[in-house]
Amino acid sequence: MAAAAPGALGAVQAGRARLLAACCARLGTGWRLSGSWAGRQVGPAAWTWGPAQRRGYSSEAKTEDELRVRHLEEENRGIVVLGINRAYGKNSLSKNLIKMLSKAVDALKSDKKVRTIIIRSEVPGIFCAANLPVPTIAAIDGLALGGGLELALACDIRVAASSAKMGLVETKLAIIPGGGGTQRLPRAIGMSLAKELIFSARVLDGQEAKAVGLISHVLEQNQEGDAAYRKALELAREFLPQGPVAMRVAKLAINQGMEVDLVTGLAIEEACYAQTIPTKDRLEGLLAFKEKRPPRYKGE
């Protein structure tokens, strides 16, 4: 028994090392487990659906475009809004739209001026009929049924108007939630309640969703119909001043740590923490604190 213990411990440690390497590999091209983190800067992203807010946009797109890319100005500089505009399809996620979203996000990843990405609907009252390695917010101002809710469940934070409607209703069509709903909903609200909602195909409003823990914030809808979007923008602004590298690895540590035991989770946290130490951003944060000024992070 005594002789077997070191071998068993070694196997566990080796397995944990492989897990940590795989976790850090998920940060994408240019990021690695050891050495400096000089990867491309990507800001927090918010997935939001609801009526369009046109103030503060620097450019307009053609009406027929399914995806509109706008860079916000002034105090919102650094925030990019990707607006989904498929009114005829009630914002259903077509192959073409998913391809356009993927292409737009890939392009924004290499833009160091981008700190926050908001994805929302420009079709009033409809949420929708990818999960990024950066913070994501889903703002639900209208309907989020089936795939729409599954997309919201893939986000880190969900906010909704009290008048919004949410539910995984696939069983009504004799199918099951096939976009991650059977896996993410139990993780968000617990297995028993998730089963109840999926088995019944029940639709919840904002208040009910908040009560069961499906969303973090519920807002009374405003006259413009974009209360959830405004809350998402408020949260995104809170994220903007933080270190981009720290935001990425914090999300990685949380997500991967929730899938393993506490000891392994703490090891993942330690590995992620170590990646922030050699960064220029960490030194800038210390200097800014000493000089009592806002830090100027570059994601390096």
Residue 170 designated active-site: yes
Q: Which of 170, 270, 284, 291 is catalytic?
A: 170
Question: CB atoms < 10 A from the CB of 237, how many?
Answer: 15
Instruction: Say if CB 244 and CB 6 are below 8 A apart.
Output: no
Residue 122 designated active-site: no
Bridge partners of residue 138, in order along the sequence: 47, 158
- Collapsed DSSP state (helix, strand, coil) of residue 254: helix
How many Cα atoms within 13 Å fall on the side-chain side of residue 292? Answer: 0
Q: Which of 150, 238, 284, 300 is catalytic?
A: 150
Tokens 């809710």 sit on residue: 149
11: its two tokens = 């196997």
SS3 content of the chain, % helix, strand, coil (to 5): 45, 15, 40
What residue ranges in the chain does DSSP mark as E strands?
Answer: 45-49, 67-71, 79-84, 116-121, 126-128, 136-140, 143-145, 157-161, 165-167, 204-205, 217-219
Q: Which residues are catalytic?
A: 150, 170
